Amino acid sequence: MKKFYLFCSAGMSTSLLASKMQKVADANKIPVEVKAFPIGTMGEIIEKHNPDCILLGPQVKYLYEDTKKRFADLNKPIFVIDSQDYGVMNGEKVLKTAIMGYKKHMKENA
């Protein structure tokens, strides 16, 4: 099972999006675990749980470059969630985009 972890300012609104993404994954039998966490816990969560994909909420997109540098040695795909999809809590589209981005990353870095 792949782990797709979302990080945002406090983790509250992102947890709603993560829940919607998980429902889509479950309904389609996609072996993905989707969870949300506050950005302040990112280092600890990544070290402890080793997610396969890291998604940043639009409100913390300014941390994208730093996050890429910080975790470059892990070779994990890191994406910023589209603000429009985030705003309407489109769990299906965010999940599809994340899966496609993950697969592309893995193919390019194989």
User: Which entry of 4, 6, 8, 35 is annotated as an active-site residue?
Assistant: 8
Using the CB atoms, write b or e for 59-98: b if 16+ within 10 Å.
bbeebeeebeeebeeeebbbbbbeeebbeeebbebbbbbb
Q: Is 53 a catalytic residue?
A: no
**Active centre residues (catalytic):** 8
